[in-house]
Amino acid sequence: MNTKTRNAFWEGLFWIILIAGIYMSFGVYAKGSKSIYIGLIAGIMALLFAAIKTAKIMSKNKGSDTMAAISNHIYTGAMAFLKREYKILSCFVVIVAILIAVFLNIKTSICFLCGAFSSALAGFIGMSVSTKSNSRTAHAAGKSLNKAFRIAFNGGVVMGMTVVGLGLFGLTLLYLIFKDYDIINGFALGASSIALFARVGGGIFTKAADVGADLVGKVEAGIPEDDHRNPAVIADNVGDNVGDVAGMGADLFESYVGSIIAAITLGALCLNLMGAFLPIIIASIGIFASIIAVYFVRTKENGNPMLSLQIGTTGAMLLVLAASYFFIKSWFHDLGANGIFFAILIGVIAGTLIGYLTEYFTSYNFSPVKNIAKSTETGTATTVISGLDIGMLSTFFPMAIISIATISAFLVIGGMESYTLGVYGISLAAVGMLSTVGIIVAVDAYGPISDNAGGIAQMANLDKEIRERTDKLDSVGNTTAAIGKGFAIGSAALTSLALLCAYATVVNLSDIDILNPFVTSGILFGAGLPFLFCSLTMGAVGRAAGKMVNEVRRQFKANPGIMTGECQPDYKKCVDISTKAAILEMLLPGILAIGTPLVVGLGTAALTNKIIGAQALGGMLMGAIATGVCLAIMMANTGGAWDNAKKYIEEGHFGGKGSAQHAASVVGDTIGDPFKDTSGPSLNILIKLMTIVSLVCATLFIG
């Protein structure tokens, strides 16, 4: 039996198991109170699917020795980063687990450990597979666009499915064991801790490498991007995976888990077990739908990869909506079923709208980015101003959508009659939005794989035709990354709000009243925090990139053979610098995110009383969410728009490559780098982590 037949056999077997799983889920378990088992089944299905896809990718040809060697450098670099990161992380996690066990309880501590372990494991698996898919994608590009496209996408699917599989399986299992939704908040906190390291540390890693590689390589030494002579090139390629695979994965893992837990907490309050189980079932439907939709994603030789990816995500969403509709109708026989369904629908629509808006503001097929490209004609200053202008404009609409979606989800489910039900509706909207995270992470993680494949094709001097194919795949990556970011921010906003409600419920707060000066002060203080956080992370990139620049200069000077191509540069050293800088520089932002809620909450409590302390903390969280989400959108979109304005010019518009306009657009792109890949996404973590820390420590505020 050759590899191809073996893979087909396993895939066929998987489909049989999948159909059996879906039958068990909705034919057997869904009728009784055992419906929570569906979460376990769906989680296992996702993990099995990831395993099948991994085997399939591994069976593909790695390409020439050069290609395999480059890919191996990237893989080794990625593993070196993860190893170092996870070492520090383990210490951190163990200390926090002990603190939780001492000050809260041992069960929460166990959940915390599980959450941290699951998210870290997902990151490890995703990074391993993505860094092994790149040369295989490049090699397959020699055959056809679709073959290469499928490998890159499947590499992303492994990450996506591992995230939702471990997330849903883990939290369902813990819920079954502890039967207490307060306890499983620890799982979300664990996930948050990893997200902090992966997003903030990862964001610093990737941009230090990117900016450092560009500043010396492109600007000083005059060698092209992704040139094998650049000592920082491997670090740069590793960084792509660190940011868009591990970082995005951990970020969405946290949102996914957080939103489901919040919905369980609120659902149990207003609709008992059925309310608590529904979010798990919707998430399960999302997994099944994502698995099926993966098969929709394929392209033709002259096809548009972006369209294929959109068919995949849209298909998954439609499947979720259809299946949810029938399930909810049969579960909640009465009229309330419509309201519950509409709440989920609103979440799905809001997520889709934010995605389209992000595309509109950051893709060069539309006027905003074209306008930025045009503004390069009047110089760098106008390029920067028009980028910020577009970025700020693009901030308002997602905020309005989130605002309207929140209120609509509250109203459709009947929030005017029952407040708890209404808030449950809001949390269901978040679950609905996040139900297809499996395929959304897949689309996002596809980006760095095809980017790396392009880099390998360049470094290994592959044929022009192959490079054109990898370029085509890569060009989509910018837009998918931007859309993924918009989605991550939107979901972080909804998740934080849901967690904030859960926090207030646990502390049993009657209100968090803006007219209470402690709350107002909290809001103002909280509003300033994201700015401080951004300043810290932007400064971190600057410092780390500076170190990288010095190292690359040192290598070029110490070893002239590098430039002539006689010697290989010391790639490892550069990976090492980015790794060390990332871990060192995330310390302060991390302390800020974890410490501030405790200091403000307990400080105010000590000054007045526990209730006021909890209210002031609630205000602070709201303030941080408000400015954090705005700033995150603004930075992600501004950066994405600058990046694509540069790409647009490079395609020959407004003077093309090498023109003064191009130089101006490069400046915009460089400014946008820490915006969109470090500071902006890190804000998602800040707002979620602060809320989840408050939620887990809520008992400290109970009189």
Using CB under 8 A, which residues numbered 346 to 385 contact a copy of itself?
Answer: 375, 378-382, 384-385
Nearer to a copy of itself, 303 or 539 (CB): 539
Contact between 1 and a copy of itself by CB under 8 A: the answer reads no
Alpha carbon distance 21, 15 (integer Å): 9
In the complex, what is the shortest distance from the CB of residue 454 to a copy of itself, in angstroms, rounded to a whole number?
23
Answer for which of 260, 323, 529, 685 binds a copy of itself (CB under 8 A) is 529
In the complex, what is the shortest distance from the CB of residue 134 to a copy of itself, in angstroms, rounded to a whole number?
28
Contact between 393 and a copy of itself by CB under 8 A: the answer reads yes
Contact between 659 and a copy of itself by CB under 8 A: the answer reads no
Encoded tokens for 498: 């849901």
Identify whether the C-beta of residue 537 lies closer than 8 Å to the C-beta of residue 200.
yes
Q: How far is CA 378 from CA 31, 128, 532, 654, 660, in A?
A: 66, 45, 32, 11, 10
Angle between helix 233-241 and helix 571-585 axes, rounded to 10 deg = 50
In the complex, what is the shortest distance from the CB of residue 403 to a copy of itself, in angstroms, rounded to a whole number?
4
Encoded tokens for 15: 């489909």
Nearer to a copy of itself, 513 or 650 (CB): 513
Contact between 420 and a copy of itself by CB under 8 A: the answer reads no
Answer for which of 176, 416, 567, 599 binds a copy of itself (CB under 8 A) is 416
Alpha carbon distance 204, 201 (integer Å): 5
What is the DSSP track for 254-291?
A: HHHHHHHHHHHHHHHHHHHHHHHHHHHHHHHHHHHHHH
Answer for which of 627, 661, 665, 682 binds a copy of itself (CB under 8 A) is 627
Q: Exposure string (b/e) for 276-296, b if CB count within 10 Å is 16 or more?
A: bbbbbbbbbbbbbbbbbbbeb
The 10 Å Cβ neighbour count of residue 364 is 23
Map the footprint of a copy of itself across residues 532-551, applying CB under 8 A.
Answer: 532, 534-535, 538-539, 541-542
Give just the sign of the alpha carbon dihedral 417, 421, 427, 432: negative
**3 state DSSP class of 222:** coil
Contact between 681 and a copy of itself by CB under 8 A: the answer reads no
Identify whether the C-beta of residue 647 lies closer than 8 Å to the C-beta of residue 665.
no
Nearer to a copy of itself, 317 or 388 (CB): 388
In the complex, what is the shortest distance from the CB of residue 573 to a copy of itself, in angstroms, rounded to a whole number?
21
Nearer to a copy of itself, 286 or 618 (CB): 618
Contact between 395 and a copy of itself by CB under 8 A: the answer reads yes
Angle (CA) 513-514-516 rounded to 5° is 70
| Residue (of 341, 185, 354) closest to 257 by Cα position | 185
Answer for which of 415, 454, 589, 681 binds a copy of itself (CB under 8 A) is 415
In the complex, what is the shortest distance from the CB of residue 344 to a copy of itself, in angstroms, rounded to a whole number?
17
Dmax over Cα atoms in the chain, in whole Å?
A: 77
Nearer to a copy of itself, 97 or 534 (CB): 534
In the complex, what is the shortest distance from the CB of residue 378 to a copy of itself, in angstroms, rounded to a whole number?
7
Nearer to a copy of itself, 38 or 346 (CB): 346
Answer for which of 88, 337, 407, 563 binds a copy of itself (CB under 8 A) is 407
Map the footprint of a copy of itself across residues 491-520, applying CB under 8 A.
Answer: 493, 497, 500-501, 504, 509, 511-515, 517-520
Map the footprint of a copy of itself across residues 549-608, applying CB under 8 A.
Answer: 608
Q: List, in order, residues 6 or more apart from 665 with CB less than 8 Å away.
A: 372, 373, 376, 383, 642, 645, 646, 649
Amino acid at the residue 392: M
Map the footprint of a copy of itself across residues 215-234, applying CB under 8 A.
Answer: 215, 219
Answer for which of 275, 618, 639, 680 binds a copy of itself (CB under 8 A) is 618
Write out the H or E segment, with its range, that includes residue 44: helix 37-58
Identify whether the C-beta of residue 297 lies closer than 8 Å to the C-beta of residue 157.
no
Instruction: Tell me how far the alpha carbon of residue 53 is from its chain's centroid.
Output: 21
Nearer to a copy of itself, 97 or 413 (CB): 413
In the complex, what is the shortest distance from the CB of residue 383 to a copy of itself, in angstroms, rounded to a whole number?
9
Map the footprint of a copy of itself across residues 660-679, applying CB under 8 A.
Answer: 666-667, 670-671, 674
Answer for which of 86, 124, 325, 525 binds a copy of itself (CB under 8 A) is 525
Contact between 101 and a copy of itself by CB under 8 A: the answer reads no
Alpha carbon distance 555, 545 (integer Å): 15
